[in-house]
Structures are given as C-alpha cells and as structure tokens.
C-alpha cells in the first residue's frame, strides 16, 4: 500500500491486541496518533475524525504548540526539544528540512520486504533534503507479537563529508504516563529498579563504556502512577545495541511525552563520505496493561526469531567457582564424572586453560592451549566429557588482551589506545582493537580452529573491561562503533563456520544482554553474583526483556562467592530452577545428601523446562513486600508453575494470602506443592491445603488466592497448578 504522496493519509496498523495509528503527511516523517490498546476495526472516515479530534488549538505558532511530533523530530519544524537528527558538513547543513516525505506500507513477504518477519507490517518513509544533500528515512515495524520497532537512516548524497552526531528517534506516550521506571546497578548487583515522576525536562541514561554496562537502564518505561506487573497501563522502549547508547524520557512544556533511544557517537564515528549511510539501532517498544503484558509481548517477539534456541536448554556445569585458575586434569575429570552422574548435559571449562594464564595478570589473547598444564591438549578432558554424554563448552574473552601476552608484545598496534597510550587497566587487561582486519582474522581463526579441534558446542564469551581510551591505532580515531560491529560480525562468522554452535554473552556478568547481542548469542550470564537472594531481583527485572530460557541461572555452593551469604540448597536450587539451569560448585566437597537433593532438582527442572522455557511469565503484585510470587503458564493454559519466596521476615505472622495470576478464570485447577526449599511451615502448623492440595477455579485463585505457607526468610516453595476436568 502506497499512500498518496500529495495528500498523505492516516493509517491503522493492528497486531496481537496492539493498534498503531500513524499520520502520514507529505511534509514530515510519520506522527504517532495512538500506540497501545487495540481499537478494533476503524474505517478511513473514522481515522480522519481521529486526526481531527487530536488537533491542538492554535496558539501563536507551531513553535509554541506542536500539533504533531514526528518519530524523528526536527529543529527546522519548530521542535524545541532535542532534535532527532544532529550533524553538519563542517558547520554547514546542520538543520535538515524536507520539502517532500514519501511513505510506503509493506507487508512481510511482499516483493518490497521479502525477508520481513512473518505477518509483520512496516512503514518506510523517505525524505530528501536537496540543498543539504541528505536523504533520511524512518522505518516503523509492527510485529505479530505487538512489539513495535523504529529506526532511522541518514545517507550522504552530497559531494563532501557529512558527520552525524546524533540520530535519536522518538515514540510519544499519552498524558497518563506520568511515572518512569528503569534500572540501575553495578557489577554483582545488576538490574535494580528505580522510579521517578515523568516531570518536564529530560531523564537521560547514557552508557559510554562500549557496552550497555552493569548499570544499564535496560528498558525505559512510562506508565500510569503506581503501575505494577498486573495493573496500570505502561509503555516502554529498549535500545537493541551493544555499544555506547542513550535512553531518554523527554517531557516538554507543550505536553509531549517522548521515549527515545539510540547510539552515542564519539567524534568522527558518524562521519559519512559521499554515498555512505548510517542507521540508528533499532528502538524496540512494547506496551501493556501491567508489566507482565508489556514483557510478554517482548518475549513473544524474541521467541519468534528464526535463530531463537529451539532444543531443550542443556543443564550445565561451569568450572569457575569450582577451580578458578587451578586447572588439573584429574580434578576436572572428577568434576565431569560427578556432573554426568547428576544428569548434567554440558560441561564448560572456564578461564585458565590457555598459555600463561595462571592468574588474571597475563595471557589474554594467547588463544592456544597451555602446554605446561595440558601436555596432551584438552583432548583427555574433552574426550571423557563426550564419552559421558555431555557437550563441551569453553571460556573465551575474544575482545580483550593482557599487555603481558605474546599477542600484545607481537602486535602492540592491535591494542586500543590514544596518543596517551592504552589507558588504565581493568582486571589487568585492555581491549583488542578488532577494527584491524588482521586482528579480527587472527581471533576468528584461533577460536574457529579450537572449536573444530575439540568439537566445542558452546562458547562462554566474556567482556570484562569497558572501552575507554578506545582509539584505533595508528591514527587514534575512536573505534567503539567499529568494534561493536566487528563483534557482531565475528560471532556471526563463527556460527556460519560451525552450525549449531551456541554463544553465551557473559560481560563480567550482566553488562551486555541487549537485543543487539542477542541476535548472535543464545543465552546471557545474568550476573557474576549467584547469591540466590540477589538473583531473585536480577532475574525478575532482566525478565522484562529476556524470557527465562535465555537467562543463565546457576546453583552455587552454600556460601556465595560474591556476598558471603549462606543459603540452604533448596533455596539456591529453587532460585536457579527458574531459568537456564546450571551448577557453579565444586561438587567434590558436596556430601551424598546434597548430591541427591541437587540431582532431584536437576531432574525436576528437566521434567518442567519445556513449560518454563516456552510458557507465559506472570508475577503477583502482593501486598506483603517480604513475599515474591512469579509463575510460568503453558501456552494452552493447562499447567502452571509458581514460585513463592520469602525474601525477608514478614511483619505479619502468618503472612496472609497470595494470589496465583494468569490462569484461565473459567477452568478448575488443582494446586499442590511440587518442591520445597523449606520445611513449608513450622512443625505441623501449615495451611490445610498444603498437605492434600486444593482445587479452585482460576478466577478464585487469581482474585481470592491461598493462604501462604509459613516460610522463613530466604526460603521458597514451588507450586504446581494443573487443570482438572469439571
């Protein structure tokens, strides 16, 4: 469908309970009149009336009151907020304006969009600025999940260079969205939610470290006051990009509330020679009646990608917290035997296997098996792992280098640096500049050779230093944008060469888990902290973006290595149960009772992982802040698992009722305790339903609920709700 370029039109896009109404005017880029709940069938005449109904009163000029704000707001249109496009030709052509913007609507699978996601629809709008020699376009996609994607592209059609300094698309939200939610954090404490009023001005979250970072906002949501998981309308955006980036909420005095996001470009990174183009990252957007519906659309969108993992997520053992750098064949063989006996399906050898790597001071970049530690290579270990029926995985940090390494000594020009040198070290390391094709080829060939030799099924891909002083030698120009693109290309090429290879994005834990890296990765390491208490928060809020099967969740030893907290095995395992399960524990020190219990949890996870990794995630908004309840409901609504956790001592005792959200209100469900990380009460004083279960309708369970069992702090129970015939 091609709207009339002379008059434009108002169009209505609908998918999965989402409507998007766009004003397509030949003088500007699309303006969003509505993005949110489904409006039903709306004919052309009514769409015209919608446009009339939303026309603002005239004040004194368009500058004083913007009747419409385009998805790429422009300074030249009278917009007084941050311009969507900034840049110049050495000080000229800095205020782009377009005499004509054309719009086309494409259905996925059509000749114009043959590679589009099945059942998606997009609007492509193109404007040409003849005097400035620029062509600018926007793409708006509505996916079958109801997720919206937006990006913009600038093409330099002039005769000299044009430098883009900013390209920041925007989506408006309605006036009732008066509260903002995003995340904060640090290493080992990622994904801590924070809220603030959506006041006039800008709330800006920037990442300048060449990755989203441990303090990443992750998403920026705007919603009705007090919006929660099951209540309050909410809209939110995410920048699907792994380099420097910004998320912004902008509220103008003329009443517009915009959610915006894009890449932060360092000097010269956006410089376009004649004929070159720059595209902003995708701004991925969702809405919902509550955060569960918001995130449910994102999960559906992520799961619909053709590269999304389809096979059952293998339970794995990672060796880091078991042996650290102390690699010894007999020890590792013992761990492998114990892992296989528990039903573990993937064995991952972490840091310490390559040349000169006895600590974090040396060896990064020397991707050769250390002959002193492994005289026969990794073959004795890998062969035994495969004999035991497990896949083999290996840790790498391909983007990093120690100055004390053969690679850095042979190629100092491959280390990011400015005229002041390579800058400060972090974890004794610096960054390898993959903008050098020779450096890129070297890393690709070394990893590829090892994957082939050892039949590696899984790469744990770490990234432990921010990209500061990231100058491309020998000219010292910034290299963060080029590095980000090179990482994507490196991952993609490895997967082409080795079909079936899986990659975990581990960035010192949760520093890089955006939807840009997830185009190539198959799972993320949520955090280096696996303290079960902390992991409740991290997994819950990371889950706004990623479904459970993409989040690595491990069972650690009794004492957590980050916080020094002690938790019993039931709480540790019941917490890790709720994602892509793994074990991070020296099993040689576990007694028979612990191994039996751990094996039972692994068996239960394998029994239920199809539900956990395909179902719809829900959360209860409980009045008791000490209690957390989340669930996963299978696609046909027959079965659900819920986890009820006490994360603090409750003020009231007994703790009161809890509701089970998301069940079919008209079906009856039997609810019973499936597994427990506690004694489920004190002595024999437990709610009557716990011993024999209880059968109620989904409506009663969601509205009235159940009496919570007595749980000590940092203990949990897993509940099974099964539909029964009337």
For residue 83, being part of any structural domain is answered with yes
pLDDT surpasses 50 at 557: yes
- CATH number, domain at 717? 2.60.40.1180
Which strand (E) or helix (H) includes residue 629? strand 627-633
Q: What is the pLDDT of residue 679?
A: 52
Exposed e or buried b per residue across 160-197, where buried means at least 16 C-beta atoms within 10 angstroms of its C-beta: eebbbbbbbbbbbbeeebbbbbbbbbebbbbbebeeee
Q: What is the pLDDT of residue 652?
A: 82
Q: Enter the tokens of residue 42.
A: 């709306």
Q: Is residue 524 part of a domain?
A: no
- Domain finish residue from 255, 287, 303: 303
Average pLDDT, the chain: 95
Whether residue 423 lies inside any domain: the answer is no
- Of all residues in the chain, the percent with pLDDT exceeding 90 is 90
Q: Is residue 397 part of a domain?
A: no
pLDDT of res. 1: 57
Q: What is the CATH number of the domain that holds 206?
A: 2.70.98.60
Which of 230-244, 422-436, 520-534, 675-689 shows the lowest per-residue confidence on average (mean pLDDT)? 675-689
End-of-domain residue from the set 287, 303, 319: 303
Q: How far is CA 323 from CA 92, 318, 388, 447, 588, in A?
A: 60, 10, 20, 23, 11
Residue 105 domain-assigned (yes or no): yes
- pLDDT over threshold 80, residue 683: no
The catalytic residue positions are: 462, 528
Please enumerate in sequence order all residues whose Cβ is within 8 A of that of 310, keeping only pairs 6 or more positions apart, or say none: none
Q: What are the distances in angstroms from CA 473 to CA 416, 421, 423?
A: 7, 10, 13
- The two three-digit tokens of residue 480, written as one number: 């963060």
Q: How confident is the model at residue 677 (pLDDT cuts 50, 70, 90)?
A: low
Report yes or no on 570 lying in a domain.
Answer: no
Closest CA to 138 of 93, 104, 94: 104
- Greatest alpha-carbon span in the chain: 83
Q: What is the mean pLDDT of residues 211-239?
A: 98
Average pLDDT over residues 697-702: 98
Structural domain for 83, as ranges? 9-55+67-303
What average pLDDT does the segment 288-310 reach? 98
pTM assigned to the model: 0.96
Instruction: Write out the DSSP string of 101-140.
Output: EEEEEEETTSGGGTTSPTT-EEEEEEEEETTTTEEEEEEE
Q: Could you say which of 257, 278, 303 is where a domain stops?
A: 303
Task: Tell me, letter by letter, the H, E, C secondary structure of 454-469.
Answer: HCCCEEEECCCCCCCC
Instruction: Report the number of distinct structural domains present in the chain.
Output: 2
Q: Read off the pLDDT band of 681 (50, 70, 90).
A: very low
Phi-psi category of residue 684: left, alpha or beta, with phi > 0 → left and psi -120 to 50 → alpha: alpha
Is residue 298 included in any domain, yes or no?
yes
Transcribe 142-170 into DSSP letters.
E-TTS-EEEEEEEEE-SSS-EEEEEE--E
What is the spatial distance between Cα 359 and Cα 427, in angstroms, rounded to a whole number?
A: 10
**Residue at 236 is within a domain:** yes
């Amino acid at each position: 469908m091609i709207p009339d370029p002379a008059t434009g039109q108002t169009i209505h896009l609908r998918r999965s309970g989402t409507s998007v109404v766009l004003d397509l005017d030949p003088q500007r880029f699309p303006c969003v009149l509505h993005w949110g709940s489904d409006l039903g069938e709306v004919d052309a005449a009514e769409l015209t009336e919608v446009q009339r109904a939303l026309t603002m009163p005239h004040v004194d000029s368009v500058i004083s009151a913007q009747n419409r704000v385009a998805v790429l707001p422009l300074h030249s249109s009278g917009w007084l907020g941050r311009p969507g496009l900034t840049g110049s030709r050495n000080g000229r052509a800095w205020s782009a304006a377009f005499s004509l913007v054309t719009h086309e609507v494409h259905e996925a699978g059509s000749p114009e969009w043959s590679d589009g996601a099945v059942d998606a629809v997009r609007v492509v709008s193109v404007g040409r600025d003849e005097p400035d020699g620029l062509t600018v376009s926007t793409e708006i996609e509505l996916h079958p999940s109801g997720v919206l994607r937006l990006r913009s592209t600038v093409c330099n059609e002039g005769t000299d260079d044009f430098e883009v300094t900013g390209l920041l698309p925007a989506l408006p939200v309605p006036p009732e969205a008066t509260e903002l939610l995003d995340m904060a954090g640090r290493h080992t404490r990622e994904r801590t939610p924070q809220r603030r009023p959506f006041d006039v001005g800008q709330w800006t979250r920037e990442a300048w470290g060449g990755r989203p970072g441990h303090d990443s906002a992750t998403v920026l949501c705007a919603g009705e006051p007090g919006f929660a998981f099951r209540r309050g309308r909410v809209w939110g955006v995410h920048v699907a990009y792994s380099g420097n980036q910004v998320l912004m909420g902008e509220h103008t005095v003329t009443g517009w509330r915009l959610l915006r996001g894009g890449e932060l470009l360092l000097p010269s990174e956006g410089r376009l020679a004649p004929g070159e183009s720059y595209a902003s990252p995708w701004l991925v957007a969702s809405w919902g009646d509550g955060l569960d519906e918001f995130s449910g659309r994102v999960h559906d969108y992520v799961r619909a990608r053709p590269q999304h993992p389809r096979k059952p997520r293998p339970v794995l053992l990672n060796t880091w917290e078991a042996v650290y750098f102390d690699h010894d064949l007999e020890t590792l063989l013992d761990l492998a035997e114990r892992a296989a006996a528990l039903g573990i399906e993937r064995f991952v050898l972490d840091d310490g296997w390559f040349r000169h790597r006895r600590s974090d001071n040396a060896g990064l970049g020397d991707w050769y098996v250390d002959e002193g530690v492994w005289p026969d290579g990794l073959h004795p270990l890998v062969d035994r792992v495969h004999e035991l029926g497990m896949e083999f995985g290996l840790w790498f940090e391909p983007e990093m280098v120690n100055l004390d390494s053969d690679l850095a000594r042979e190629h100092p020009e491959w280390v990011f640096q400015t005229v002041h040198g390579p800058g400060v070290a972090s974890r004794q390391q610096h960054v390898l500049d993959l903008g050098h094709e020779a450096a890129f080829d070297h890393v690709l060939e070394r990893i590829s050779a090892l994957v082939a030799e050892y039949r590696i099924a899984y790469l744990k891909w770490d990234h432990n230093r921010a990209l500061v002083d990231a100058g491309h030698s020998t000219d010292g120009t910034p290299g963060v944008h080029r590095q980000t693109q090179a990482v994507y290309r490196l991952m993609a090429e490895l997967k082409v060469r080795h079909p079936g290879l899986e990659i975990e994005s581990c960035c010192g834990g949760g520093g890089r888990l955006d939807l840009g890296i997830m185009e190539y990765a198959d799972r993320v390491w949520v955090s280096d902290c696996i303290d079960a208490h902390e992991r409740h928060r991290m997994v819950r809020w990371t889950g706004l973006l990623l479904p459970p099967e993409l989040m690595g969740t491990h069972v650690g030893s009794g004492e957590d290595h980050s916080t020094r907290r002690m938790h019993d095995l039931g709480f540790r395992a019941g917490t890790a149960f709720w994602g892509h399960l793994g074990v991070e524990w020296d099993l040689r020190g576990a007694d028979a009772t612990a191994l039996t219990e751990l094996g039972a949890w692994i068996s239960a996870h394998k029994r239920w992982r199809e539900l956990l990794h395909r179902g719809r995630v829900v959360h209860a908004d409980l009045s008791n802040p000490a209690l957390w309840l989340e669930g996963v409901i299978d696609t046909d609504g027959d079965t659900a698992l819920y986890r009820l956790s006490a994360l603090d001592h409750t003020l009231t005792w007994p703790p009161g009722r809890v509701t089970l959200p998301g069940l079919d209100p008209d079906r009856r469900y039997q609810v019973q305790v499936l597994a427990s990380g506690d004694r489920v009460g004190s002595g024999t004083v437990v709610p009557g339903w716990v011993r024999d279960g209880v059968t109620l309708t989904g409506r009663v369970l969601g509205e009235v609920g159940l009496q919570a069992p007595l749980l000590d702090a940092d203990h949990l129970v897993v509940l099974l709700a099964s539909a029964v015939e009337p």
